[in-house]
């Protein structure tokens, strides 16, 4: 007797891709869709169980329903010259009415009643173009965070700063902690000095935070 044709629809249907770098766990999703009017139970197996986690690796899909399976590849020393032959096998079987013991159903089922689909596990490194685009986007985000800080200034074509009215602003090297030229002998002067320093301190803290996040992202990407 010939094998039954797989009833569920797999997305992706043939190749499950994992995009590096592989210095950490890489996950890929497999979506199972049951277009039939009957319940279907499934199992997902791998030819390299020491390398992959499948969560969940079994379950029941209602009629017309879908199920998302997450396949996680453990971190390892990736060799682009080594072609992997790892595969996933998806087994399914119809669930008869009024059956609740799925484990017993698998044990008692005939091999001809089991529908089987196989997928290749494809490992791909992140391309240099993708990496450059990610780094460029990160740089744009960092620059936007530094210059859109609420100071109401923008870069002029000559590299100087201009205020909102377009007038040039003189620039000199000033320490972030340098006191402003404000009368501090009176309580009002001290309050004005504190109020003037606060935006600069907040700006420094925000710039350090954004730079730290950017450093972590670049380190993770590389």
Q: According to the per-residue pLDDT averaged within each range, which of 22-26, 147-151, 215-219 is highest?
A: 22-26
Around Cβ 196, how many Cβ atoms within 10 Å? 13
User: Do the Cβ atoms of 28 and 123 come closer than 8 Å?
Assistant: no
Range 89-114 average pLDDT: 92
Taking only the tens place, the pLDDT of each residue in 159-189 is: 444 444 444 444 444 444 444 444 545 555 5
The residue ranges of every structural domain in the chain are 9-124, 128-221
User: Do the Cβ atoms of 193 and 113 come closer than 8 Å?
Assistant: no
pTM for this model (two decimals): 0.57
Roughly what angle, to the nearest 10 degrees, separates helices 187-221 and 128-147?
A: 180
Taking only the tens place, the pLDDT of each residue in 50-80 is: 999 999 999 999 999 999 999 999 999 988 8
What is the bridge-based pairing of β-strands 161-162 and 168-169?
antiparallel
Tell me whether residue 218 is exposed, middle or buried, using C-beta atoms within 10 angstroms of its C-beta: 0 to 12, 13 to 18, 19 or more: middle
Instruction: Tell me the pLDDT of the chain averaged across its residues.
Output: 76
40-49, 55-64, 84-93, 200-209: which range is least confident on average? Answer: 200-209
Q: Name the class of domain 9-124.
A: mainly beta
Tell me whether residue 61 is exposed, middle or buried, using C-beta atoms within 10 angstroms of its C-beta: 0 to 12, 13 to 18, 19 or more: buried
User: Do the Cβ atoms of 154 and 167 come closer than 8 Å?
Assistant: no
Cα separation of 57 and 44, whole Å? 5
């Amino acid at each position: 007797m010939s094998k039954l044709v797989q009833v569920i629809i797999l997305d992706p249907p043939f190749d499950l891709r994992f995009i590096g770098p592989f210095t950490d766990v890489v996950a890929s999703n497999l979506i199972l869709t049951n277009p039939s009017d009957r319940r279907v139970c499934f199992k997902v197996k791998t030819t390299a169980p020491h390398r992959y986690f499948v969560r969940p690796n079994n379950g029941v899909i209602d009629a017309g329903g879908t199920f998302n399976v997450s396949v996680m590849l453990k971190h390892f020393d990736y060799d682009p010259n080594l072609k992997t032959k790892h595969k996933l096998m998806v087994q399914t079987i119809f669930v008869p009415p009024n059956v609740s013991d799925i484990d017993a159903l698998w044990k008692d089922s005939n091999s001809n009643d089991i529908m089987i689909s196989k997928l290749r596990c494809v490992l791909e490194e992140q391309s240099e173009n993708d990496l450059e685009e990610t780094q460029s986007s990160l740089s744009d985000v960092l620059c936007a965070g530094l210059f859109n800080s609420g100071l109401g200034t923008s870069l002029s074509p000559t590299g100087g700063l201009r205020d909102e009215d377009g007038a040039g602003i003189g620039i000199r090297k000033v320490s972030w902690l340098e006191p402003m030229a404000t009368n501090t002998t009176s309580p009002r002067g001290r309050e004005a000095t504190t109020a003037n320093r606060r935006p600069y301190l907040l700006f420094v803290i925000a710039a350090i935070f954004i730079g730290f996040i950017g450093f972590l992202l670049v380190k993770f990407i590389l």
